[in-house]
Structure 1
Amino acid sequence: MASVAKRKRTKVVNSPDEGQNCQRVTVGSTYFTKASGSDEKKDVTPAKLSKVTLGTTLTSDNVVQGGGDVVERLTADFYNQSTVNLAKALLGQKLVHRLSSGKRVAGIIVETEAYCGLVDKAAHSYNGKRTARTEAMFMKPGTAYVYSIYGLYCCMNISSQGEGCAVLLRAIEPVEGKDQMRQLRTNSAKSPTKPLKEHQLGNGPSKICMALGIKKEEVNRLDLTVSKDVWLEKGDNSQPIVISKRINISYGEDWVDKPLRFYLLDNKCVSVRDKEAENLLRKL
């Protein structure tokens, strides 16, 4: 997956819709959405969208053991939100995989991309494309969508509200089982490589799957709210969020420059930084 060396400055771009039957309205550098036929507008500027309330509660269904501590597992209510909001809400949450050995490997999600379903020309489900491969994108929010690329690697997404909508996980910060993650990355390498630094273990979509041992045949279509193998635990979602365009979607036509990539400011594990967007955020 090639990185983008230089980004073109885009002064103003429309924000993604938060749901069906919405119109996009741009006023200056502020993004708004409004329901069709309504004059009511909702401010969804980057500053307003940088914090999300999780609203989950502790029950016997969402409490799991983590590293000797009782931690909160994210429930169906968390995933049941628009693609853009879920992409932001996932930042700071912990992605956990319990390996066949019983050991946990986990990382904090630090970068995501939103794929907005049938209207999104960069989404696998664009124009209603529903196949065996994309079926998970049409399943209940909180379903894992794992697909293979180049026949060699896998990428993990999580379904959200909206038909064919899902969030791509782009990068994680390793926090549990780092030695195991390093070994998994080594085992996945096609040829001998130099020892990886910690921030390199999961700084890319396919690297996440390699580091956490996530395989399409085992994880695709799993319900993350009940799975005993892969799930998410509540983390810190209060850090500043950088908003930028998505990576490697040149085929997306007029969706190429839409601000649908989100990452934690100043996190070393992010796959590709957008310094211009970071500077704009710091000025807010």
Structure 2
Amino acid sequence: MLSEYQQFFTGRPTIAIAQDLLGKLVTYDGPDGKTGGYIVETEAYLGENDSASHAFNGRRTGYSESLYGQPGDIYLYQIRGHYCFDIVVQDPNEPQGILLRGIEPAIGTDLMAAHRKMGGVNITNGPGKLVQALGIHSRSLDGRPMETSPLRVDLEHFKIPREIITTQRIGVNMQGKDGAKPQRFIVAGNPYVSGMRKRMMDLEKHGWKD
């Protein structure tokens, strides 16, 4: 039987879960301290029928095996030298996932800046950047249930987006049948969204409701 925590990550469309994750707090209790931030950008990957998914056409390897786990499990993978953090959603053997693409730093912000060796929005405005900022440098957490992991999404502490914008995903093969589908979700105006233009940034409230 699924726990109440796991139930958040299944039983409804992955696209709905990806939008509901916006504003939730992701935290990591790392060896050098606790870090975390509010999720401002997600992408939904819909499994074996999604041409941009690691499981497209039933592709299943040891590397991506975690995608076939329980809802709320961690799928940590590496691409072009950077680690990325996916959350497994839906039932076991239904390999759908949600990629975290951007977070707004909120806990251990100085430590996050030290991990990235920089300041400003570039600390966490991309999937590889946010994982590095949190202090994760390996796949050791891959396959772990978030509920009992040092890396987890806090479902009880969150901000509410004023507006959610839906766009095409970034960095996927646009020639694939699903490449152009609108499966990326962002907090409108948040400066930590990847590629957010300065003129579109809400520098006062960062796109959150009061």
Alignment equivalent of 1:248, drawn from 171, 188, 191: 171
* Cα-Cα RMSD: 2.1
Task: Structure 2 unaligned segments of length 5 or more: list them.
Answer: 198-210
Alignment partner, residue 126 of structure 1: 56
Alignment partner, residue 137 of structure 1: 67
Residue 178 of structure 1 deviates from its aligned partner by 0.8
> Distance in 2 between the 1:226 and 1:252 partners?
39
Task: Structure 1 unaligned segments of length 5 or more: list them.
Answer: 1-60, 62-73, 187-194, 275-284
Q: Which has the higher contact order (CA 8 A, sep 6+)?
A: 2
Q: After TM superposition, list the pairs within 5 Å mapping 1:20-31 onto structure 2.
A: none
Is contact 2:85–2:99 with CA below 8 Å preserved after alignment? yes
Alignment partner, residue 223 of structure 1: 145
Alignment equivalent of 1:159, drawn from 54, 66, 88: 88
Is contact 2:174–2:180 with CA below 8 Å preserved after alignment? no
Q: After TM superposition, list the pairs within 5 Å mapping 1:85-234 onto structure 2.
A: 85-101=16-32, 103-150=33-80, 152-161=81-90, 163-186=94-117, 195-197=118-120, 199-227=121-149, 229-233=150-154, 234=156
TM-score normalized with structure 1 length: 0.64
Aligned residue type for 1:159:
V
> Distance in 1 between the 2:102 and 2:69 partners?
23
> Distance in 2 between the 1:168 and 1:134 partners?
14
- Bigger Cα Rg: 1
> Distance in 2 between the 1:248 and 1:231 partners?
25
> Distance in 1 between the 2:58 and 2:34 partners?
37
TM-score normalized with structure 2 length: 0.85
Report SS of the residue matched to 1:219.
coil
> Distance in 1 between the 2:101 and 2:41 partners?
5
> Distance in 2 between the 1:216 and 1:91 partners?
25
Deviations 1:91-145 (A, max 9, x none): 00011000113x2100111000000000000000001111111111110110111
Aligned residue type for 1:134:
S
> Distance in 1 between the 2:171 and 2:111 partners?
29
> Distance in 1 between the 2:35 and 2:175 partners?
34
Is contact 2:22–2:187 with CA below 8 Å preserved after alignment? yes
> Distance in 2 between the 1:119 and 1:89 partners?
23
Report SS of the residue matched to 1:255.
coil
Aligned residue type for 1:84:
I
Residue 272 of structure 1 deviates from its aligned partner by 2.4
Residue 252 of structure 1 deviates from its aligned partner by 5.2
Is contact 1:89–1:237 with CA below 8 Å preserved after alignment? no
Is contact 2:161–2:187 with CA below 8 Å preserved after alignment? no
Residue 238 of structure 1 deviates from its aligned partner by 4.5
Alignment partner, residue 79 of structure 1: 9
Judging changes above 3 Å, is the alpha-carbon distance between structure 1 residues 104 and 173 closer, same or farther for their aligned structure 2 residues? same
> Distance in 1 between the 2:114 and 2:97 partners?
29
- Moved segments of 4+, more than 3 Å: none
